[in-house]
């Protein structure tokens, strides 16, 4: 299962959405843009996603779902797919990590890890 993992890269960029957030109500909204690059010899389709979102207070929530942003992107070798989504935290700092479930053209399913990344309101991390 892990032979695919090294060949599918996941790159994440997170941004705090000041306009959509309301710190007085403990609502901190973050956008994250993910680029998935297929550096393997085989094409693969993204089937589902799993996220573990951890707030600054240690509170964890898990999110599982079909595809990403309503799509099941099919990545041929050397192809990439970029999408943007959002996460709401009740603390100004948090973390996300997870994995994608993917399937190659032979019907073999495998997981691609999404490395942990930090969500932080600017100027809150010292």
Q: Is residue 126 part of a domain?
A: no
Q: Is residue 38 part of a domain?
A: yes
Q: Is residue 51 part of a domain?
A: yes
Q: Is residue 35 part of a domain?
A: yes
User: Can you tell me the distance from the alpha carbon of 6 to that of 56, in angstroms, rounded to the nearest whole number?
Assistant: 30
Q: Is residue 125 part of a domain?
A: no
Q: What share of the chain is helix, strand, coil (3-state, %, to 5)?
A: 5, 65, 35
Q: Is residue 111 part of a domain?
A: yes
Give me the domain span that covers residue 45: 5-120
Q: Is the Cβ–Cβ distance between 8 and 101 less than 8 Å?
A: no
Q: Is residue 54 part of a domain?
A: yes
| Number of domains the chain is built from | 1
CATH number, domain of 71, equals: 2.60.40.1470
Q: Is residue 116 part of a domain?
A: yes
pLDDT tens for the 126 residues of the chain, in order: 334 455 999 999 999 999 999 999 999 999 999 999 999 999 999 999 999 999 999 999 999 999 999 999 999 999 999 999 999 999 999 999 999 999 999 999 999 999 999 999 998 665
Residues 6 or more apart from 87 whose CB is under 8 A from it? Answer: 29, 30, 32, 51, 53, 94, 96, 119
- Give the pTM: 0.89
Number of helical (H) and strand (E) elements in the chain, helices listed first: 0, 8
């Amino acid at each position: 299962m892990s032979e695919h993992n090294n060949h599918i890269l996941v790159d994440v960029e997170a941004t705090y959405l000041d306009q959509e957030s309301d710190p007085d109500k403990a609502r901190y909204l973050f956008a994250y843009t993910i680029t998935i690059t297929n550096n393997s010899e085989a094409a693969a389709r993204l089937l589902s996603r799993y996220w573990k979102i951890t707030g600054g207070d240690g509170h964890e929530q898990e999110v599982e779902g079909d595809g990403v942003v309503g799509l099941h992107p099919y990545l041929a070798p050397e192809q990439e797919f970029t999408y943007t989504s959002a996460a709401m935290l009740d603390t100004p700092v948090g973390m996300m990590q997870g994995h994608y479930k993917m399937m190659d053209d032979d019907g073999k399913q495998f997981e691609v890890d999404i490395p942990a990344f930090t969500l932080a309101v600017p100027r809150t991390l010292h």
